[in-house]
């Protein structure tokens, strides 16, 4: 099956420890409002370009992350399978640690080929694999919302467009996707 040019991303509602609650002075009768904690999620397939085994892991698309980050336990299994090309850092002594997932971690840089998947009821749509430069986190205590945090640069967004389409709020067709509950669907498409 050829790659798709557009896939749907899942909108996952996570429950924060302290939800954001507010009142609107312009609408005092509305009472307390709660801002939902939504994340764009997908499945990421780490592709073996020499024909060996691929790995699939959960991923969060984080538009606030400047680069992709991968938890230590995840990238180590990809590395054991020969799926990572390690990239030398020019000035490692002056490098700041990464701050992700509420923790800091030293990291190495690596390049992987990642294909994003869109499981549908009758098939699995996917975008072509692209090279992704990622921070390979060294601190096993640095936990991310998912094993892979997809960032803005040098990755899955290059040459693609992220779009949000409003829809009428309705129950979600898939339990893993809450987008329609909140009147939105998100897509990633090749341009």
- Contact (Cβ atoms closer than 8 angstroms) between residue 67 and residue 135: yes
What mean pLDDT comes out for the span 147-168? 95
In this prediction, residue 36 has a pLDDT band, given cuts at 50, 70 and 90, of confident
Task: Return the pLDDT at 23.
Answer: 93
Tell me the whole-structure pTM to 2 decimals: 0.88
And the tokens for 52?
């060996």
C-alpha pair distances (Å), 106 with each of 22, 160, 173: 37, 30, 41
- Contact (Cβ atoms closer than 8 angstroms) between residue 65 and residue 151: yes
pLDDT tens readout for residues 100-155: 877 889 999 999 999 999 987 788 899 999 999 999 999 999 988 899 999 999 99
How many C-beta neighbours within 10 Å does residue 175 have?
A: 7
Task: Return the pLDDT at 16.
Answer: 63
Q: 39-161 domain in CATH 2.40.70?
A: yes
Of 115, 145, 167, give the one whose Cα is nearest residue 40: 145
Task: Return the pLDDT at 50.
Answer: 81
What mean pLDDT comes out for the span 47-58? 87
pLDDT tens readout for residues 66-75: 999 999 999 9
């Amino acid at each position: 099956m050829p790659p798709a040019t557009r896939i749907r991303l899942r909108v996952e509602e996570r429950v924060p420890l302290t939800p954001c609650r507010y009142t609107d002075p312009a609408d005092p009768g509305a009472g307390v409002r709660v801002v939902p904690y939504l994340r764009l999620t997908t499945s990421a397939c780490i592709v073996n370009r020499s024909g060996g085994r691929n790995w699939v892991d959960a991923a969060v698309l984080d538009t606030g992350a400047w680069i992709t980050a991968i938890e230590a336990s995840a990238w180590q299994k990809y590395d054991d399978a020969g799926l990572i090309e390690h990239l030398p850092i020019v000035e490692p002594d002056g490098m700041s640690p990464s701050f992700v997932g509420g923790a800091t971690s030293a990291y190495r840089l690596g390049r992987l080929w990642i294909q994003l998947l869109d499981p549908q009821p009758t098939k699995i749509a996917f975008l072509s694999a692209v090279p992704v430069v990622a921070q390979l986190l060294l601190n096993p205590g640095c936990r991310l919302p998912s094993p892979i945090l997809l960032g803005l640069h040098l990755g899955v967004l290059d040459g693609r467009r992220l779009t949000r389409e409003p829809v009428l709020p309705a129950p979600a067709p898939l339990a893993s996707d809450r987008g329609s509950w909140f009147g939105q669907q998100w897509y990633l498409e090749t341009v």
